[in-house]
Amino acid sequence: VEFLYCDLASMKSIRQFVQRFRTKNCSLHVLVNNAGVMLVPERKTEDGFEEHFGLNYLGHFLLTNLLLDMLKQSGTHSHNARIITVSSATHYVGKLHLNDLQSRCSYSPHGAYAQSKLALVLFTYRLQHLLTANGSHVTANVVDPGVVNTDLYKHVFWVVKVAKWMTAWLFFKTPEEGASTTIYAAVSPEMEGAGGCYLYNEERTKSADIAYDEELQRRLWTESCKMVGISDEASRLP
């Protein structure tokens, strides 16, 4: 195991990380997009993005795009490279506000978090469409880890914290249990060549209906490219 620092809330840090990784001249077979914050008070990343959207979504969007050529080079017909993005069941209640992705008009921690998680599902489906269109040996899937007992809940109300402390042993997954579906998506032979799936408890299931809106997927992708400063090569594809 080797550690390389990368701050997903900083576009500069992400680009520096990719440069350092490239110098190692390694293959890249699995990329897991798993960083995140939840229900944080209204605040911005160093690039001026609302933190949920900037860290949970845009950071992973940029990182994945900058590493995509290495993933394509590493994948083969019999062993596809795999991209696994961790979303949440919260995406089912999320709404994507294309005219206000930064939640400037009306900030809600719950709304901003849900929007970032919905964006990750839309991103995954669009990414898989583009990978398939290009004939790439790379698959992209999205995972719902379930309710996991981690420090992600440190910004919830104290009443919820107390309830969590009292019931975690009964209702919450351990971190190891929460990671199982991500690991399944990353290494299971059953997932070889399968992309564009929403996985929960190591099974393919249906995501929110809005996530299958291909026009919304395209519009989010295009806007995301503008926000992180990369070219939208996908605009030339259907």
CA distance 159 to 180: 29
Cβ neighbours of residue 190 under 8 Å, at least 6 residues apart? none
| Closest of 49, 131, 46, 41 to residue 82, by C-alpha | 131
Report the run of H or E that residue 118 belongs to, with start and end: helix 109-133
pTM higher than 0.85, yes or no? yes
- DSSP per-residue letters across 1-50: -------TT-HHHHHHHHHHHHHTT----EEEE-----SPPS-B-TTS-B
Q: Which domains does the chain have, with CATH numbers?
A: 11-233 (3.40.50.720)
Q: What is the pLDDT of residues 96-152, one digit of tens each?
A: 999 999 888 889 989 999 999 999 999 999 999 999 999 999 999 999 986 645 555
Catalytically active residues are: 113
Q: What is the pLDDT of residues 59-80, one digit of tens each?
A: 999 999 999 999 999 999 999 9
